[in-house]
Structure 1
Amino acid sequence: MPLGTLDRRPPPFFHQGPSALTRLAVFSAVALFLMAADTRFAVTRPLRAGLAMLLLPVERVLEVPVQLTHSGGEYVGGLHQAQADLAKAQLALTTQSAKAARVDTLLAENTRLRALVDLKPALAVKSQAAEVLYEASDPFSRKIFIDRGASQGVVPGAPVIDEAGVLGQVTRVYPLSSEVTLLIDKEAAIPVLNTRTHQRSAAFGADGAALELRFMAGNADVHVGDLLQTSGVDGIYPPGLDVAKVVKVDPRADSSFARIALVPTASADGVRHVLVLEPMAMQLPARPAPEPEPTPKGQKAIKGTKK
């Protein structure tokens, strides 16, 4: 082979080209230029949009297993919850059916007993719905104001209840609103009946949001959990309305009376709508007029004197 035809260039392994520092400077300058151009002129925005459009099907395909796993877990959990709710609803329905059967039996028995002793049926209580406007600003009393007054037929002494029981009593009536004193007010009192023992007593407002049963003997038959309802003997509250439950019985040794704490069944906190009842005294028949005293024999009634 002639010597002039030999390739005297170094092999590619020794051919390095530009130095690493030079390449770093060039690529850094290009990167800075592209960032500035993209920020200023949004050069790469179409490129990013195109890549996002191309990669969207791939992302959707990759999300399918995750969505299937998540949906499967939710389906299984919802199925178990639905089965538990169904069992609970069936149990509640069975309980309500039993209660309804007992109520029907008691109503029939009550009707027979009333017919037997010729008692009058219970009085129908007139009522009207009202909305709570605001609570009184007096920190030493518990009162609320409702949007029904004398114009709507509200009278002083009218009971105020909600779905849980007795809230209080109307103590002041204005033309378009009324003031209701709650049972937990320290000046409030209500006659009650223990549904377990049928013993009558009086519940009074106490400090805070509680009631207390006063003037009960230390050995009175009152237990924690007893339900107290209106007795209906005061001529104001209709009988059978829930008032409070006994939460504490303290037979004090230093007094002949026990200290009995109650919690009201109806709470005024958060209540928006109430029911105003007509006092029972307005539906009872009027009292008969007293008969004149008979005149003794041998005497004539003196009608007047003659001049």
Structure 2
Amino acid sequence: MDHQPPPFFKRGPAPLARLFFYVTLSLVLIVIDARFHTLDLARQSLSLITDPLQRAAQMPAALLVQARAYLSSVARLQEENFRMKREQLDNAANLTRTEQLERENARLRRLLELREREHPSGVVAQILHAVRDPYTQRIVVDKGQMATVTAGQPVIDDVGVIGQVTRVFPFAAEITLLTDKDQSIPVQVVRNGLRSIAFGLGDGQLELRFMPANADINNGDLIVTSGLDGVFPRGLPVARVTHIERNASYAFPRIFCKPLAGVENYNEVMVLAVREPVAIPEELRTPRPSAGGKSGKKKRPKRG
């Protein structure tokens, strides 16, 4: 009887058969999962185990990135701190000179009894809509008599002058824009203080009229309110000169300006409070008596 030793390794199915079996099983599982979503629960369960492992594997790289960002931010902050200290030292003299000039200006104003610069106040209003009139440029805001808005108040935005209140209702007000053809405002040139009056043209532009032909005004000059009308505070930005037409056949040049404020951008505006009238000194309101007495006639000498 022939006895053979048992094989050292047990042989299973052939490799090709196992490959075919696993490929078929994979395809079946893929089709079942895509059709019935049966492996979502198993996938979620496995993610509870693999997610911490993935985070742990990514932690060294994340720590390296954070350390690099921290070191770069520290270096940048140190550089900015050094630059700011240097700028502070460079500007120390200018700051000291500015403070000194402000104190001297305040002392001179007290000595000359001049009024301090006005700080305008008012109410913020939301623009509701534009007036449906193609020949006028007006807007309507949501503040009226109930918000102490009155006709004649100036209106500004965050850049400059918008216009003026022309009609007031209990809960709304109508504002005529600077570019309206019936609107005008006294202005002056910042560069040289030259005074003029800006008129609206009705097409989004302003015009400085009645200026002499040799007026010192150039393209790009900034135009601000002069405050001579007693309505608009002095120094509010109005427009900038864009085009000048000088013609020898006309006595006055045509000076066109573009408004600085968003007269066509309907957002929020501020309606400024009415300026208080300037108090007239008592010595100017009462007439001075003449040198010859109340009647102003000289007394005749008596005859002996």
* TM exceeding 0.5: yes
Show the counterpart of 2:234.
239
| More moved, 148-157 vs 122-131 | 122-131
Instruction: Give the SS at the match of 1:110.
Output: helix
SS in 1 for 2:258: strand
Q: Confirm or deny that 1:168 pairs with 2:150.
A: no
Q: 1:217 aligns with which of 199, 212, 217?
A: 212
TM-score of the two chains, using structure 2 as the length reference: 0.68
Confirm or deny: 8 A CA contact 2:118 2:233 kept in the other structure: no
Shift of the alpha carbon at 1:180? 1.0
Q: Can you list the C-alpha shifts for 1:179-223, whole angstroms capped at 9, x where unaligned? A: 111213333211112233222101122455443323323431113
Structure 1: which amino acid aligns with 2:184? A
Cα distance, 1:129 vs structure 2: 0.8
d(CA) in 1 for partners of 2:249 and 2:84? 49
Distance between the aligned counterparts of 2:235 and 2:116, measured in 1?
11
- Structure 2 residue matching 1:67: 3-state secondary structure: helix
Q: Given the alignment, which residue of 212, 217, 224 partners 1:229?
A: 224
Q: Choose the corresponding residue for 1:66, options 61, 64, 73.
A: 61
Q: Is the 8 A contact 1:249 1:259 kept in 2?
A: yes
TM-score w.r.t. length of structure 1: 0.67
2:157–2:268 contact (8 Å) kept in structure 1: no
Select which of 128, 139, 152 maps to 1:134: 128
Tell me if 1:262 matches 2:257: yes
Identity, in percent, stands at: 30
Paired position in structure 1 for 2:294: none
8 A Cα contact 1:219 1:251, kept in partner: no
CA shift in 2, pair 1:183/1:28, >3 Å: same
Structure 1: state its 5+ residue gaps.
289-307
Partner in structure 2 of residue 145 of structure 1: 140
Q: Distance in 1 between matches of 2:277 and 2:71?
A: 59
Offset at 1:142? 3.0
Task: Return closer, same or farther for 1:5/1:151 CA change in 2, 3 Å cut-off.
Answer: closer
Choose the corresponding residue for 1:272, options 268, 273, 276.
268
Letter in 1 for 2:125: E
2:205 and 2:257 in contact (8 A); partners too: yes
Q: Which runs of 5+ in 2 are unaligned?
A: 286-304
Q: Deviations over 1:210-257 (max 9, x none)?
A: 433233234311134433222222232232333233344454566443
Counterparts of 1:89 and 1:165, CA distance in 2: 35
Kept in 2, the 8 Å contact 1:159–1:236? The answer is yes
Give me the whole-angstrom Cα distance separating, in 2, the residues matched to 1:77 and 1:16: 61
Mark the CA change 1:209 to 1:102 in structure 2 (over 3 Å): closer, same or farther: farther
The reply to whether residue 107 of structure 1 matches residue 106 of structure 2 is: yes
**Matched residue count:** 274
Q: Over the residues paired in the alignment, what is the CA RMSD in angstroms?
A: 4.4
Contact 2:135 2:202 in 1 (8 A): no
Q: Equivalent residue of 1:212, what SS?
A: strand
- Residues 203 and 211 in structure 1, CA contact (< 8 A), matched pair in contact too: yes
5 Å matches for 1:1-307?
Answer: 20=16, 26-38=21-33, 44-45=39-40, 47-49=42-44, 51-72=46-67, 74-75=69-70, 78-79=73-74, 94=91, 97=95, 99=98, 101-112=100-111, 114-115=112-113, 121=115, 127-138=121-132, 139-206=134-201, 208-252=203-247, 255-268=250-263, 269=265, 271-278=267-274, 280=275, 283-284=277-278
Aligned partners of 1:132 and 1:144 also within 8 Å: no
